[in-house]
Structure 1
Amino acid sequence: MVMGASVDEDDVVALWPRPLAEDDKYSRGVVGVVAGSDAYPGAAVLCVSGAARAGAGMVRYVGPRRAQDLVLATRPETVVHADADAVDRLPRAQAWTVGSGVADDAGQEAVIGAVLASGVPCVVDAGALEDCARARHSGSRRTPPDRVLMTPHEGELVRALGAIRHDVTAADVRHDRAGHARLLAEITRATVLLKGSRTLIASPGGSVRELPVATPWLATAGAGDVLAGIAGALLASGLDAADAGACAAWVHARAAAAAAGDDPLAPTGRGGPITAMDVAAAVPEVIRSLREP
């Protein structure tokens, strides 16, 4: 994709990974997920479901027992790990998705710190954004800029910038969404996916990619957790952060439109309400419908 490009179906078709006859579950990509907490265990299920539905060969989940049980009840193929074990020795994964639904959980925060220091590609969401911003701002950048995808919404972008002493308001961000996404990308040397009705992806160096407007039914709790899981699966497949973010956001929006019964090309909100799990469930059909290049 080129500088300043809009993301369309042809881009996604060209980039989306397809398994080959000789592939196995490991070569298709192993995603590690550190999400959820005792307070928000559902985030773990949503994030894991996003990764699994997007085609990850294997998903490893790290988290507290309550969240493990919910994950296994919903996605029994998931391999689960206790966070106390993962801090000392991270399970092997080609990419990690961290932060969704993590709230005041010391065990989860310790594993996230290990992931951020590991150099492995990662999607950084919600509860991990500020720590990631501080670490990369201070020079801890073992993972290259094109292998780190930070996925804030507007309020999280404000807080991430505040964590590195760039105080802005939500109104500032709304006035110049692209500029503030670029600012975070430059300061942290990471790729930034700014969520919203029109998602933006900013890379260090000034490149910004713009997604089509998504159906307003996508504004529902947990949808961002599903997106983080989808992006993690694409990072694990070998895509760089900007391409993984672009493809994940495009398929995520199409899945939401399909689930809501809205027009995917010109969403109007005339469909019906959906939940985040509805979005995850619709992802495989969207992938199947992608035109051959």
Structure 2
Amino acid sequence: MGTERNVDLAMVASLWRRPVPDDDKYSRGVVGVVAGSDAYPGAAVLCVSGAARAGAGMVRYVGPRRAQDLVLAARPETVVHADSDAIDRLPRASAWTMGSGVADQPGQDAVIGAVLDSGAPCVVDAGALQDLARARQAGYRATPPDRVLMTPHEGELIRALAAIGHDVTRADLQADREGHARLLAETTRATVLLKGSQTVVVAPGGQTRTLPMATPWLATAGSGDVLAGIAGALLASGLDAADAGVCAAWVHARAAALASGDDPERPDGSGGPVTALDVAVAIPRAVRLLKSA
């Protein structure tokens, strides 16, 4: 299990799928999003925006009415579904992004369970991480390891490990971020993207890929929701979980640098503040850079 550290523009450009003349919205990939809640409705907008701006052919959103209204106001092309309808008949999607901002929403939890039952490719974030970790540790693995991407930040990784019996302090994690990400990946047989100023992507039984440093301005509320949406679009386009995670993290960081005015090659915080929605808006500019590779 070697460590690959050459994640750069050329690598991402070689993996990123671009549309061809024969494509339609379905062949480009349909992303189902279960995100946001009555408490955190903005997460739905950010996750949907990340998926749409990263090139998904269609985005379907499942969640409460308040979040539906905000999603449609921001992205009117989105197809929205009530969770009660989605439980009875899971909407057609190539891949799912789930968990960002989900809190105390039994209907959404039931939809997440239905997606996991289906074995569909999925990005699992925030509110869905601990339940997924427990289920996969217990052997419930309808989705193959190379089709499920867990996207914790450091606090969420600590909680996910605790949920499966590994007590880790923040100091422990910071001393060996790669090792603890691999512990979660191998125990759950899922691909893990550990967010941070230097993101790592770990595939169970495979390589660890370390991303270049991102601009410190990216440490802002909601940025992880945008990242989850980008990764969902890439899974829906046909990439495996590790490649989707690497490409999503690279474009996410480059979009943040473009939005802030920071140096994209050596980001040091010399640019200006950005919000998560600023990052989402800059995604197409970051993707256009891939043409130069």
TM-score (norm. length: structure 1): 0.98
Give the 3-state SS of the residue equivalent to 1:291 in structure 2: helix
Tell me which residue corresponds to 2:97. Answer: 97
Tell me which residue corresponds to 2:260. Answer: 260
Tell me which residue corresponds to 2:37. Answer: 37
Are the counterparts in 1 of residues 51 and 229 from structure 2 also a CA contact under 8 Å? Answer: yes
Matches within 5 A, 1:21-60: 21-60=21-60
Matches within 5 A, 1:222-233: 222-233=222-233
Matches within 5 A, 1:70-109: 70-109=70-109
Are the counterparts in 2 of residues 182 and 206 from structure 1 also a CA contact under 8 Å? Answer: no
Tell me which residue corresponds to 1:274. Answer: 274
The total of aligned residue pairs comes to: 292
Tell me whether 104-113 or 189-198 shows the greater mean CA deviation.
104-113
TM-score (norm. length: structure 2): 0.98
> What is the one-letter code of the residue matched to 2:261?
G
> What is the one-letter code of the residue matched to 1:26?
Y
> What is the one-letter code of the residue matched to 1:96?
W
CA RMSD, Structure 1 to Structure 2 (Å): 0.9
- In the aligned structure 2, how far is the partner of 1:139 from the partner of 1:152? 21
Q: Which runs of 5+ in 1 are unaligned?
A: none
Q: Deviations over 1:224-277 (max 9, x none)?
A: 000000000000000000000000000000000000000000001011110000
Q: Deviations over 1:49-107 (max 9, x none)?
A: 00000000000000000000000000000000000111121101000000000011111
Tell me which residue corresponds to 2:13. Answer: 13
Matches within 5 A, 1:209-224: 209-224=209-224
> What is the one-letter code of the residue matched to 2:122?
C
Tell me which residue corresponds to 1:286. Answer: 286
Q: Deviations over 1:3-61 (max 9, x none)?
A: 42331111111001100100000000000000000000000000000000000000000
Q: Which runs of 5+ in 2 are unaligned?
A: none
Tell me which residue corresponds to 2:125. Answer: 125
Tell me which residue corresponds to 2:4. Answer: 4
Deviation at 1:206, TM superposition (A): 4.5
- In the aligned structure 2, how far is the partner of 1:53 from the partner of 1:68? 18
Are the counterparts in 2 of residues 117 and 140 from structure 1 also a CA contact under 8 Å? Answer: no
Tell me which residue corresponds to 1:152. Answer: 152
Tell me whether 243-252 or 162-171 shows the greater mean CA deviation.
162-171
Tell me which residue corresponds to 1:169. Answer: 169
Tell me which residue corresponds to 2:65. Answer: 65
- In the aligned structure 1, how far is the partner of 2:291 from the partner of 2:24? 24
- In the aligned structure 1, how far is the partner of 2:110 from the partner of 2:224? 22
- In the aligned structure 1, how far is the partner of 2:25 from the partner of 2:261? 33
- In the aligned structure 2, how far is the partner of 1:206 from the partner of 1:25? 32
- In the aligned structure 2, how far is the partner of 1:185 from the partner of 1:88? 31
Give the 3-state SS of the residue equivalent to 1:193 in structure 2: strand
Overall identity of the aligned pairs, in %? 77
Deviation at 1:186, TM superposition (A): 0.1
Give the 3-state SS of the residue equivalent to 1:47 in structure 2: helix
Moved beyond 4 Å, runs of 4+ = none
